[in-house]
């Protein structure tokens, strides 16, 4: 084996320097991107969300869920969309949404209503979901109000759907009637 020559060291040094430079530059750009993302997307939107609905509904009953978004800031804000998660709506059939959104789409795990509604400071925008209870259970999930940058305010919502026919006769389900109790 021959001893290494200064030219072979120089080639290895150039390759090593280029590799280190590429790695350091890539890390710097990733860091700049992360900081930029943090500054843009971590700002809380200047609105609040309130959701009004009954706590309990009967199977088959039509219920209105009123979502109110209020601009709490000093400037106009654009409400880009309202996202309603499937965990909440799986127990219901969506009959109507008013006022009609500009568009809507079902995504993985939620339904997004695109509004693009400018709200002046102190003003409120309401969206009403008309739902029909189709399955017994406690249905809960998030409703998100999002601005153009997709910063969001979340409201956790739950409605219990009960079957009145089952709830009216609990004694008969256990096999004991009122007449059996009086004979004892």
> What's the CATH number where 107 sits?
2.60.40.680
- What's this model's pTM, rounded to 2 decimal places? 0.66
- Ranges of the chain whose pLDDT falls below 70: 1-5, 38-43, 166-184
Which helix (H) or strand (E) covers residue 96, if one does?
strand 92-98
In this structure, are 148 and 121 located in the same domain?
A: yes
Q: What is the pLDDT, as a whole number, of residue 8?
A: 73
In this structure, are 30 and 107 located in the same domain?
A: no
DSSP 8-state secondary structure symbol assigned to residue 39: H
Residue 172 inside a domain? The answer is no
**Tally of domains in the chain:** 2
Q: What is the pLDDT, as a whole number, of residue 43?
A: 66
In this structure, are 110 and 150 located in the same domain?
A: yes
Q: What is the pLDDT, as a whole number, of residue 184?
A: 44
In this structure, are 33 and 102 located in the same domain?
A: no
Contact 143, 48 (CB under 8 A): no
* Sheet strands side by side (includes 152-162): 56-58, 152-162, 137-147, 77-85, 110-119, 103-107
In this structure, are 59 and 143 located in the same domain?
A: yes
In this structure, are 28 and 58 located in the same domain?
A: no
Nearest to 68 by CA among 122, 128, 131, 157: 128
In this structure, are 62 and 115 located in the same domain?
A: yes
In this structure, are 32 and 51 located in the same domain?
A: no
At 160-180, the pLDDT tens digits run 999 987 655 555 444 554 545
In this structure, are 114 and 133 located in the same domain?
A: yes
**Domain range for 9:** 1-42
The residue behind tokens 């940058």 is 149
In this structure, are 34 and 64 located in the same domain?
A: no
Q: What is the pLDDT, as a whole number, of residue 4?
A: 63
In this structure, are 80 and 26 located in the same domain?
A: no
């Amino acid at each position: 084996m021959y001893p290494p020559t200064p030219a072979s060291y120089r080639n290895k040094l150039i390759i090593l320097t280029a590799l280190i430079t590429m790695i350091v530059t890539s890390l710097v750009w990733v860091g700049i991107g992360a900081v930029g993302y943090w500054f843009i997307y971590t700002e809380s939107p200047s609105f609040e969300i309130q959701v009004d609905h009954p706590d309990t509904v009967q199977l088959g009953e039509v219920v209105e869920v009123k979502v109110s978004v209020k601009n709490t800031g000093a400037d106009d804000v654009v409400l880009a969309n309202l996202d309603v998660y499937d965990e909440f709506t799986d127990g219901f059939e969506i009959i109507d949404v008013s006022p009609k959104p500009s568009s809507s789409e079902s995504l993985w795990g939620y339904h997004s209503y695109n509004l693009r509604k400018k709200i002046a400071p102190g003003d409120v925008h309401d969206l009403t979901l008309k739902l029909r209870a189709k399955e017994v259970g406690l249905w809960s999930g998030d409703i998100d109000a999002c601005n153009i940058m997709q910063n969001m305010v979340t409201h956790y919502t739950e409605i219990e759907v009960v079957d009145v026919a089952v709830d009216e006769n609990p004694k008969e389900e256990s096999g004991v009637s009122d007449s059996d109790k009086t004979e004892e």
